[in-house]
Chains A and B, each alone.
Chain A
Amino acid sequence: GENVEQHPSTLSVQEGDSAVIKCTYSDSASNYFPWYKQELGKGPQLIIDIRSNVGEKKDQRIAVTLNKTAKHFSLHITETQPEDSAVYFCAATPIYNQGGKLIFGQGTELSVKP
Chain B
Amino acid sequence: DGGITQSPKYLFRKEGQNVTLSCEQNLNHDAMYWYRQDPGQGLRLIYYSQIVNDFQKGDIAEGYSVSREKKESFPLTVTSAQKNPTAFYLCASSLDRGPYEQYFGPGTRLTVT
Contacts and interface: CB of A to CB of B under 8 A. Distances in A.
Nearest to B97: A99
Contacts, number: 69
Contact-size category for A = 20 to 34
Interface of B: 4, 6, 31, 33, 40-43, 45, 48, 50, 58, 90, 92, 94-107, 109
A34 B42 contact: no
Contacts of B109: 41
Interface of A: 6, 31-32, 34, 36, 41-46, 49, 51, 89, 93, 97-102, 104-107
Query: Interface residues of A: mostly helix, strand, loop or mixed?
Result: loop
Given A31-B99, A99-B98, 18 more contacts: A34-B101, A41-B107, A44-B43, A44-B104, A46-B101, A51-B99, A89-B43, A99-B31, A99-B96, A100-B33, A100-B94, A100-B98, A100-B102, A101-B33, A101-B48, A101-B98, A102-B102, A106-B42
A12 to B, nearest CB: 16
